[in-house]
Structure 1
Amino acid sequence: MIQDNPDLIAAIRDRFAHVDSCPFQGERIFFENAGGALTLKSVVETSGFYAAIPDNPGRINPAGQGTQNVINKAKADLAVFMNATSGQFFAGESGTELLFRLLRTACVNAPKGSKVIGSSIEHPATRSAARRWAGIAGLDYVNVPHDDATGLVTAADYLKHLTPDVSVATILHASPVTGMGMDVAEISKAIRSVAPDCFIIVDGIQHAAHGQLDLEAYNVDGYAISPYKVFSRHGYGIAWISDRLSSAPHDMLIDAPATGWEFGTRDTGSYATVSDVVAYFDWLGGEVSEESEPRKRIEAAGRAIHAYETHLTNTAINGTGNLPGLRDMEHVTILAGADNAAREGLVSIVVDGHASEDVVERLNQQGIRTHTRKADHYSGNVLTPLGLPDCIRISFCHYNTEQEIARMLAAVKELGKDG
C-alpha cells in the first residue's frame, strides 16, 4: 500500500517535476490534477531530446528509421497499458479533437434515421460532437439523464432509453466535475444487449490517471485520452479504435491505406513520452507487487493508485488528526455526497457565503492550487440542475500526501469564521 510506505511516496514524488513548487509562484500544493496532472521528469527530458531531431519518422535513413521504431514501440506500450489485443492507436491534436473525429466517422456511417445515445453527465467533448454530427447525419440524439445526487449515470439508466435502432453511443468514464467514475463495461454490455452493432465511443480523459484501463473488458469501438492528464505533456491526444471503426470510411488522403487514421508527419516526442508514462506505471507496479509481467505490474499499479487516492479523498472528507473533514464543516457542501464509492481522486465543494472564485484565490494565496468550475458550457450540465453557479474542485493524485490535505483542511476551516 502506498500510504503505508513513506519511502515509496518520496520516490514517487521525486519522479515528477514541480511536485511541491511552481516556477511562477514558488512553494505550492498541487490539487489541480483534474485540470492536468504533474509531468514526469523523464517526459521533460524525452521531449527535449526529440524536439531537436529534424528527421521525419519512416524515412530511409538511421534517424528516420530510429524515430519510427520509437513510435512503433509507443503503440505497443499503449496496447499493454490499456490491454488492447486488436485495433490501433494514433495521436491527434487533443483528446477532445480525437473524440470529434471518432464520432464524426461513426455518425456519418450510421444508417439514416437511426439514433445516437449519450448521457447528461458527459463532458462537452462527447456531448457536443455527438449532437453536432447526429444533426448533420440525420440521426436523432437521445439523452440519458444522470442522477444529480450521486453524479452518476448507470447501465440501468441507459437501458431505459435504448432501442435497437441506436447506432452510436457515447460513455464518459469519469466526470471532471463530480469526480465520479462510471462502469464502462456494464454500460457497454447494456448497450450491446439492445443494439449489438452500435459504435461505442468512450471519453477516458479524466479516468486515465486514476486506475487501470482495460479495453479488452469494455467491448467498445473508441477510447480517447489526453496524455497531459496522465503525467505526459500538452499538445496531443491519444485514441484507440477498434478494427471495425478503423475500416469504416473516414477522412483520409486519396489512395492512402484504407485503415490509416494519422495525418501528416508524426511527432516522435509525443509518442516517446507515452512510453515514459507506461514505464512509470510498470515501475510503480514493481514497487507495490511481486508481479513479473508488464501488464500485471501495470494492473497492480492501477490498484495501488486507486486505493491510495481513495485514502486521500477519504482523508479530505473525514478529516485527519484534530482537523475536521469537509463533511463536518457546516459551511461546506460536498457535491455528489460525502459517501460515494464511485469517487476517483476528486472532491468538489461549495462554501457558504463565498463565491467559488474567491475561495480558490484565497487558497492560492496560501499556496494551495485548486480550481473553479462554473455553470458554463463545460460544467453547466452538472452544476445548473443543482442550482449552483460554480464550485471549487479539489483534485488529488497519488503523489499528493496527507500532510498536504491537512493544510487544505485547515485553510478551508478558516473560511467558516467569515460567516
Structure 2
Amino acid sequence: MITNSPTLTSDIRNRFAHVETCPFSGPRIFFENAGGALTLKSAVETSAIFAAIPDNQGRDNPASAALVDVITRAKADMALFFNSADGTFFVGESGTELSFRLIRTAIMGSAPGGTVIGSSIEHPASRSAALHWAKMAGKPYIDVAHNDATGQVTAEMYASQMTPDVRVATILHTSPVTGIANDVAAISAAIRAVSPDAFIFVDGIQHASHGHIDITSYDIDGYVVSPYKVFSRHGYGVAWASDRLTALPIETLKNGPIGNWEMGTRDTGSYATFSDVVRYFEWLGEKVSDTTDPRAKIEAAGKAIHDHEQTLTDAMLRGIGNLPGLADLPGVTILGGADNPDREGLVCFALDNVPASDIVDNLNDVGIRTHIRRADHYSGNILTPLGLDAAVRVSLCHYNTLDEVRSLLAAMKDIAD
C-alpha cells in the first residue's frame, strides 16, 4: 500500500524531520535507521513545549495537574501500543539502562539457586546485564548458541538447553546487526513448558519501529524499547514490567509508593513524545485501512510497514531493473542469508574485495548514510563466527523509498566494480 502510493509516501515523509537533508552535511539518503530513526516533527514540537514548563508533577496547582494528566494519558497510549491490559509502564534513562534494571530485579529477586538463560545473538543491553547479575547472584548462565547462517535463535534451541531450575530468561526480539527477528511467543512458550515460573525479559529495541508489538501474546515479564529508534527522541527509554516482576523487591524510596519503578521526577516530555508516536501509528493505520478501533489501526499500520519494508529489502537484495542487488555482488556475504523471511528492514553485508569501512566512506561521499558494524563488544558475537572483522549495515524504515534503494544499488555497483 505504501509502496504503490506516492501521495501516502509524501504524506509520511512530511511528518518527519530531516528526511532528505542532514543539518550538518547537506542532502543525503538516510539508511541508518537502526542507529536511530528519523524523528516525528510532532515529537520535536512537543519536546520544546514541555522543556519550557517549570512545574513538576505532584504539586497542588493547575500546571502540575496537567502534567500528571499527560503522563496518565501516555501510559494508556503505551498500553495500547504494546497491547497490554496489565503491568506497569515507566520511562528511564535509556533502553539499555532499563534492560539492566529489569534484568537485575528479576535475577536478584528470584528464588535462590537456579540458573539464567539467554542467547548468543543478544545485544549487550540484555546479554551483559544477564551475565553480570547472574554472576553476582551465583546463578550459572546458560548460553543458547544462535544459528550463524540465519542470524537468529529458535524455540527449539532454547528448549534444548532448558531445565526446570531456570529462574530468568532473556530474549532478543530483533537483531540490530542481522535485522532478523526471533519468534518471541514461541521461545517464551518453550521456556514456560519447562520452567513455568521463570521471569522472561525481551529486548524490543530494534523491533519497535517495524510495527506490531503484542505483549499479551508473549507471556513475558519485561519488555523494553528505545523511543529514539521508534520516531521519538533521545534521552529516555520505555519499559513494561509485569505485575509479578513489580512485586519483587525493587529499588524505590523508603516509605514511598509500593511498586514505584520511577526514581526522581520524570520528564513529562518523554511521556508526551511517546504519545506522539502512538498518534502517528493510528494516523497511518487510518490511511491504510478502514478500521476505527485504535488498536486495529496500530496493527494495520504495522502490517503496512512490514509489507513496504519487505518490498524495499527484497529490491535491495535482488536488484531493480538493470541494477544488481546486494546479494548479486561478487564475493558478498549477507548476514542472516539473502532469503530469510524474518528480516525486518535491515540488510547487513560484507564484500571480499572491498573493506566495509571503505564502502561506508564511499557511500557517504555520494550522500548515502549507512553504518559500519565491527567485531567489537557490540557485534563480535555475530561477526566473528562468520570470519568477518566488519560489515556494512543498511537499515531502513517505511519512509524510505524504492528510488532511494536504486541510488544505493547504483552506488554499490560502482564500488564493487
Q: Under a length normalisation based on structure 1, what TM-score does the superposition of the two structures give?
A: 0.99
Poorly superposed stretches of 4+, deviation over 6 Å: none
* 2-structure distance, mates of 1:240, 1:281: 19
| Per-residue deviation, 1:112 | 2.5
Q: Residue 170 of structure 2 aligns to a residue in which SS? A: strand
User: Which secondary structure state, in structure 1, belongs to the residue aligned with residue 161 of structure 2?
Assistant: coil
Q: Which residue of 1 aligns with 2:256?
A: 256
Q: What is residue 86 of structure 1 aligned with on the other side? A: 86
Contact 1:285 1:300 in 2 (8 A): yes
Question: What are the residue-to-residue correspondences of 1:15-414 with 2, within 5 Å?
Answer: 15-414=15-414
Distance in 2 between residues matched to 1:240 and 1:335, nearest whole Å: 31
> What do residues 110-144 of structure 1 show as CA deviations (whole Å, max 9, x unaligned)?
22320000000000111100010001111010000
**Is residue 121–residue 382 contact of structure 1 (8 Å, CA) maintained in 2?**
yes
What amino acid maps onto 1:363 in structure 2?
L
Structure 2: which amino acid aligns with 1:231?
A: F
Whole-angstrom CA distance in 2 between matches of 1:140 and 1:329: 44
- The one-letter amino acid paired with 1:15 is R
Tell me the distance in 2 between the aligned counterparts of 1:23 and 1:238: 28
Whole-angstrom distance in 1 between the partners of 2:170 and 2:155:
12
Instruction: Give the whole-Å Cα distance in 2 for the aligned partners of 1:352 and 1:367.
Output: 24
Q: What amino acid is aligned across from residue 36 of structure 2 in structure 1? A: G
Three-state SS of the structure 2 residue aligned to 1:187 is: helix
Partners of 2:335 and 2:242 in 1: CA distance: 35
Higher mean C-alpha displacement, 162-171 vs 318-327: 318-327
Q: 2:178 touches 2:335 (CA, 8 Å); kept in 1?
A: yes
**2-side partners of 1:79 and 1:149: how far apart?**
36
Three-state SS of the structure 1 residue aligned to 2:394 is strand
Whether the aligned pair in 2 keeps the contact of 1:313 and 1:345 (CA below 8 Å) is yes
Asked if the contact 1:82/1:215 (under 8 Å) is kept, the reply is: yes
Q: 1-side partners of 2:364 and 2:65: how far apart?
A: 47
Q: How far has the Cα of 1:251 moved from its partner?
A: 0.7
Q: CA deviation at 1:390?
A: 0.5
* Paired letter, 1:47: S
Paired residue type of 1:309: E
TM-aligned CA deviation for residue 298 of structure 1:
0.3
**Amino acid in the other structure paired with 1:279:** R
SS for the counterpart of 2:201 is: strand
Shift of 1:403: 0.3
Q: CA deviation at 1:109?
A: 1.3
CA offsets 1:247-297 (integer angstroms, 9 cap, x no match): 110111111122110010110111000000000000000000000010000
**What CA distance in whole angstroms lies between the structure 2 residues aligned with 1:142 and 1:332?**
33
CA distance in 1, matches of 2:209, 2:338: 22
Contact kept? 1:124, 1:377, Cα under 8 Å = yes
Using the TM superposition, give the Cα deviation of residue 58 of structure 1 relative to its aligned residue in structure 2, in angstroms: 2.4
Structure 2 contact 354–416 (Cα < 8 Å) conserved: no
Count of aligned pairs between the two proteins = 417
C-alpha displacement of 1:327: 1.3
Q: Please tell me whether the aligned partners of residues 184 and 218 of structure 1 are also in contact (alpha carbons under 8 angstroms).
A: yes
What is the CA distance between 1:332 and its match in structure 2? Answer: 2.7
Structure 2 CA distance, aligned partners of 1:360 and 1:174?
23
Q: Secondary structure at the match of 2:249?
A: coil
**Which SS does the other structure have where 1:160 is aligned?**
helix
Give the whole-Å Cα distance in 2 for the aligned partners of 1:21 and 1:40: 15
Deviation at 1:62, TM superposition (A): 0.7
- Aligned residue for 1:347, secondary structure, equals strand
SS of equivalent to 2:393: strand
State the TM-score, normalizing by the size of structure 2.
Answer: 0.99
For residue 2 of structure 1, give the secondary structure of its aligned residue in structure 2.
Answer: coil
3-state SS in 2 of match to 1:313:
helix
Q: Distance in 1 between matches of 2:113 and 2:241?
A: 24
Question: What amino acid is aligned across from residue 25 of structure 2 in structure 1?
Answer: Q
C-alpha distance after superposition, 1:43-95 (max 9, x if no partner): 00000000000000221101100011001100000000110000010000000
2:37·2:230 contact (CA, 8 Å) conserved in 1? yes
- What are the superposed Cα offsets for residues 176-203 of structure 1, whole Å, 9 maximum, x if unpaired? 0000000000000110000000000000
Query: Partners in 2 of 1:308 and 1:390 — Cα distance?
Result: 28
Work out whether residues 331 and 416 of structure 1, in 8 Å CA contact, stay in contact via their aligned partners in 2: no
Q: For 2:107, what is the secondary structure of its paired residue? A: helix
**Alpha-carbon distance in structure 2 between the residues aligned to 1:226 and 1:203:** 10
2:364 aligns to what SS in structure 1? helix
What is the one-letter code of the residue matched to 2:327? R
- Give the drift of 1:12: 0.3
Shift of 1:334: 1.2
For the 8 Å contact 2:331–2:351, the answer to whether it is kept is yes
Partners of 2:355 and 2:112 in 1: CA distance: 47
Kept in 2, the 8 Å contact 1:107–1:137? The answer is yes
Q: Name the % identity.
A: 61
Worse-matched range after superposition: 54-63 or 366-375: 54-63
Q: Secondary structure at the match of 1:59?
A: coil
